[in-house]
C-alpha cells in the first residue's frame, strides 16, 4: 500500500496545517465521531455512501486546535473500545488499488484510514475522499 501525502490527497488540507505541515495527530483526542449510513435511493438517482465525521483535539502541538475531518463513501469499518476518552496514537492514511475498468484504466484507489489506538477507541475503514471541514482554535484557559 502506498502512503498518502495528506496535503495532496485531502481536500481543504490547508485548513488543518500547522506551520505549513500536516499536523501531528499523536495523542489527539477524538471529541466527536459520527457515522452515517448514507442515502441510496436508485429510483431518485441518489447515491450517497456512508460518511464518517470526526473531530480531533490536537493536544500535542505547541498551539493546540481542533480539526474536523469528513470521510466519504466509507466501507469495511472496524470500531472498537470507544469510550469516555479516546486518544489516538496517530492517524494514518494509505492508498489501496481497486483494480481496473473494462478498458484497462485504473479505478480511483481507496484511501485506507486508521485511527491508531493509544487509549480508548481504535477505528479503521476505507473511503474514497477525505476533507477537512473545520479548524477551531482552542481558547487559552489560563
Query: How many CB atoms sit inside 10 A of residue 88's CB?
Result: 24
Residue 94 lies in a domain: yes
Residue 17's SS3 state is: coil
> pLDDT tens, 104-113?
999 999 999 9
Residue 142 lies in a domain: no
Residue 104 lies in a domain: yes
Residue 73's SS3 state is: coil
DSSP code for 15: G
What pLDDT was estimated at residue 142? 53
Residues in the chain: 142
> pLDDT tens, 60-82?
898 999 999 999 999 999 999 99
> pLDDT tens, 37-59?
999 999 999 999 999 999 999 99
What total number of domains does the chain contain? 1
Domain housing 26: 2-137
Q: What is the average pLDDT score of the chain?
A: 93
Amino acid at each position: 500500500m502506498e502512503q498518502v501525502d495528506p496535503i495532496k490527497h485531502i481536500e481543504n488540507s490547508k485548513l488543518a496545517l500547522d506551520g505549513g505541515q500536516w499536523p501531528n495527530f499523536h495523542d489527539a483526542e477524538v471529541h466527536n465521531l459520527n457515522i452515517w449510513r448514507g442515502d441510496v435511493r436508485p429510483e431518485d438517482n441518489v447515491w450517497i455512501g456512508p460518511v464518517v465525521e470526526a473531530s480531533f483535539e490536537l493536544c500535542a502541538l505547541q498551539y493546540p486546535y481542533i480539526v474536523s475531518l469528513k470521510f466519504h463513501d466509507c466501507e469495511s469499518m472496524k470500531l472498537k473500545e470507544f469510550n469516555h476518552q479516546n486518544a489516538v496514537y496517530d492517524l494514518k492514511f494509505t492508498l489501496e488499488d481497486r483494480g481496473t475498468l473494462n478498458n484497462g484504466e485504473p479505478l480511483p484507489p481507496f484511501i485506507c484510514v486508521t485511527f491508531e489506538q493509544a487509549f480508548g477507541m481504535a477505528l479503521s475503514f476505507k473511503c474514497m475522499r477525505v476533507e477537512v471541514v473545520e479548524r477551531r482554535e482552542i481558547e487559552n484557559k489560563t
